[in-house]
Amino acid sequence: MSISTLFEVKILITLLWTLLTSQAIAQNTIKEKILTLTNLDERTQFALHIDKDEEQRATGLALYDPNDKSWTEYDVSKLKRGIPVKKEGNHEVIVLKSDDFESDRGGHFKVDYLKNGITGSRGALALKFDFDGHQWRIYYRGSQVSALHFKLNKVFGKAVGIKQVLVK
């Protein structure tokens, strides 16, 4: 067997091992619902879950859409630069950001949202994600939160952004 063939076999074995171990890790992920997101104008609802490992550490975020029964997964390591949770065309409508998120404790989050796609103006909401040793919780101004309700900003009947975020 030539050296190049051995090298190709080694690469193939490494790729297969990586694939198998990443699937095993993904299968051990537990999803915990932490927040309900609703669009009040269109009466749509989504559920934000935190993916956690056996030791309850956050490994990701996942958004569940009950209308089409689909999951969108987000990598928490990308929170510093922002995770676009909702996009419309070339606009990032809702972006989650955190400069201090720790997978075993939580951190401060900024929900950055597009107020007006015409002018480009944005709004923000400050939340705290906290792990109490048993369960992940979200707080706004010291009170626990279970839902964010988004009210659309409309111009001539067409949505151009988010007018208001109601915290429940």
- Domain borders along the chain are 30-167
Q: Measure the CA–CA gap between 63 and 48, rounded to whole angstroms.
A: 5
Task: Please give the DSSP secondary-structure letter assigned to residue 76.
Answer: G
Query: What one-letter code names the amino acid at 144?
Result: Q
The overall average pLDDT reported for the chain is 87
Please, which pLDDT band fits residue 136 given cuts at 50, 70 and 90? Answer: very high
Contact between residue 107 and residue 94 where contact means Cβ atoms under 8 Å apart: no
The pLDDT tens digits for 149-163 are 999 999 999 999 999
Distances (CA, A) of 95 to 7, 53, 58, 81: 43, 24, 18, 10
pTM, to two decimals: 0.80
